[in-house]
Structure 1
Amino acid sequence: MNDLGKAVVFDVGRVLVQWDLRNLFEKMISDPDELDWFLTNVVTEEWHFQHDRGVALADMVPARIAEFPKYEPHIRAYADRFNETVPGPVAGTHQLVKRLHANKVPLYCLTNFGEEFWEGFRPVYPIFDLFDDIIVSGTEKVAKPDPRIYEITEQRAGRPGSRLFFTDDNPANIAAARSRGWDAHLFTDAETLEAQLAASGFL
């Protein structure tokens, strides 16, 4: 039973679920060198991050096709088959969410995720039913590590940063959270997170 008055905030990609653009495009590009070039120059994580910040696919995709017309089918696949970039859960973290929920710990997600992709992805994983609220960057039109999305999370959770335990795999996002007083922990694996949660009194 949680009597700390604190909540736990999870990142999603690479904390609750695996994510890698390569998982989709290795099905479409057989040459390893071409695949590496494509992921470095065409459908890159940096380009994808625009959608996390709220840029619509209807704006992103045609502009990218105009720049790389040879890869039109691949760029359209990015928009149409995004769930194939998520091969499954991160080992062990869903079990931790279930234990926290059983202990009546308030649970939140703070994720850099495009709104259109989230709509197609969210129903695939029932684990998200256990969360009190999920703050999606694409919906808010602002993404981590911008301080504004941490402020939005504090408002939605009804708690100051000092009452929020946060785990994320990105050091920049952890640093931004700590600057607002969050109890932020860099995610490496479920075993380490379990120890951090236990040390903080949640498990």
Structure 2
Amino acid sequence: MSIKAVVFDIGNVLIEWQPERFYDSVIGEERRREMFAAVDLHAMNDKVDMGHHFTETIYAAAEEYPDWRAEIRMWHDRWIEMAAPVIDHSVRLMGALQAKGVPVFSLTNFGIQSYDYAATHYPFLRSFDRDFISGHMQVIKPATRIYQMLEEESGHSGADLIFTDDRIDNIAMAASRGWRTHLFEGPQGWADRLVAEGLLSADEAA
């Protein structure tokens, strides 16, 4: 069975996403560790990824933890600095696939407003053939439902799809549905996999 579409995660596949690294650079590692121990910032972000309003959710958390108000607001006010830099080789792979007529989908845990904001900085986010953004879908990976929704809406399933993501739990769920999968550990490995699958030549994947 031939691959009908290539599915990309975004965070740490097309754009680096390392909030801890950002906070280490701004407030220092020790204070960052204290804050992350006191406030479940990733759970806060999961709410945004589920479709809760970007500004309202983060500012509400900031008010809930006044000792960390300024730092929590940075998650919103300096968000684009956290979602950086672009992984250029991955973006080239996306374009190379589309240049050959291979549909490229996103499947990403991403908020509605934060995605729109990111797209103003990273125009390639508007270039997917199909967008599957958790904020609009109101479900996040690795819940089974988000994979089902992609299958239902795209008309592709199982080995029709090859999916790359940096998280093993997200990959495992896709694999359990019969998708071909690649654990993203860097763009060269993903490039090599696309060549091995016959989707790109070595030159196209460079």
Q: TM-score, normalised by structure 1?
A: 0.88
Who is 2:18 aligned against? Answer: 20
- Alignment CA distance shift 1:5-1:187 (3 Å): closer
- How far is the alpha carbon of 1:24 from its aligned partner? 4.0
Who is 2:119 aligned against? Answer: 122
Q: Does 1:37 align with 2:34?
A: yes
Who is 2:67 aligned against? Answer: 70
- Alignment CA distance shift 1:32-1:160 (3 Å): closer
- How far is the alpha carbon of 1:187 from its aligned partner? 0.8
Inter-partner Cα distance in structure 2 for 1:7 and 1:198:
15
The aligned amino acid for 1:77 is M
Q: Does 1:95 align with 2:92?
A: yes
Moved over 4 A (4+): none
| 1:84 maps to which of 77, 81, 86 | 81
The aligned amino acid for 2:104 is L
CA contact (8 A) 1:23 1:87 kept: no
CA contact (8 A) 2:49 2:109 kept: yes
Inter-partner Cα distance in structure 1 for 2:35 and 2:118:
24
Could you say what secondary structure the match of 1:105 adopts? Answer: coil
Inter-partner Cα distance in structure 2 for 1:21 and 1:62:
17
- Alignment CA distance shift 1:105-1:44 (3 Å): same
* Percent identity for Structure 1 against Structure 2: 34
Q: TM-score, normalised by structure 2?
A: 0.87
Deviates more, 1:187-196 or 1:59-68: 59-68
The aligned amino acid for 1:13 is G
| 1:187 maps to which of 184, 187, 190 | 184
CA contact (8 A) 2:159 2:178 kept: yes
The aligned amino acid for 2:11 is G
Could you say what secondary structure the match of 2:164 adopts? Answer: strand
CA contact (8 A) 2:119 2:126 kept: no
Who is 2:6 aligned against? Answer: 8
- How far is the alpha carbon of 1:161 from its aligned partner? 2.6
- Residue deviations 1:1-41, cap 9 Å, x none? xx945100000000001011135434542x43112222343
5+ residue gaps, structure 1? none
CA contact (8 A) 1:43 1:75 kept: no
5+ residue gaps, structure 2? 201-206
